[in-house]
């Protein structure tokens, strides 16, 4: 079996970094991925999917140093876990947690992107 996930989105908050008891650095951040489409009735629809991303080692150092809320990134991950939880509205939901293999910065610092709205920036 093989899993590979690639997604593009914006950070929902500044990354948080910590060290394990063994001294390994891990940086965590959340990424929002927007999907837009027009339904059968011609009405615009939008859905936001959130991914919780963990980076380890050198990738943890770099993402902690250069990323901030609003930055656009492309994340590649092979380890994906869906964790169920109950949302604020009382409904069951699932959080997608991934361990990043690579994170590509797609915009300039400060959140400006060269891409047009709805256009993939690569």
What are the structural domain ranges in the chain?
A: 5-105
Position 118 scores a pLDDT of: 38
Low-confidence ranges of the chain (pLDDT < 70): 1, 109-122
What is the b/e burial string over 3-41, where b = at least 16 CB atoms within 10 angstroms of the residue's CB? Answer: eeeebbbbbeeebebeeeeeeebbbbbbbeeeeeeeeee
Rounded-to-integer distance, Cα 68 and Cα 12, Å: 9
Query: How, if at all, do strands 92-105 and 16-19 pair?
Result: unpaired
Position 74 scores a pLDDT of: 97
In a 3-state reduction of DSSP, which class is residue 52? Answer: strand
Position 121 scores a pLDDT of: 41
Position 9 scores a pLDDT of: 96
- Distance, first Cα to last Cα, the chain: 29
Secondary-structure class of domain 5-105 per CATH: mainly beta
Rounded-to-integer distance, Cα 122 and Cα 103, Å: 14
Position 117 scores a pLDDT of: 39
Residue tagged 């656009």 (tokens)? 72
State the pTM of this model: 0.79
């Amino acid at each position: 079996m093989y899993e590979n996930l690639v997604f593009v989105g914006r950070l929902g908050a500044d990354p948080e970094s910590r060290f394990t008891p063994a001294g390994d650095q891990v940086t965590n951040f959340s990424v929002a991925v927007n999907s837009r489409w027009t339904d059968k009735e011609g009405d615009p629809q939008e859905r936001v999917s959130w991914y919780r991303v963990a980076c380890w080692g050198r990738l943890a150092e770099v993402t902690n140093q250069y990323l901030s809320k609003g930055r656009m990134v492309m994340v590649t991950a092979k380890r994906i876990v869906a964790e169920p939880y109950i949302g604020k509205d009382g409904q069951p939901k699932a959080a997608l947690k991934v361990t990043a293999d690579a994170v590509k910065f797609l915009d300039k610092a400060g959140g400006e992107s060269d891409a047009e709205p709805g256009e993939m920036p690569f």
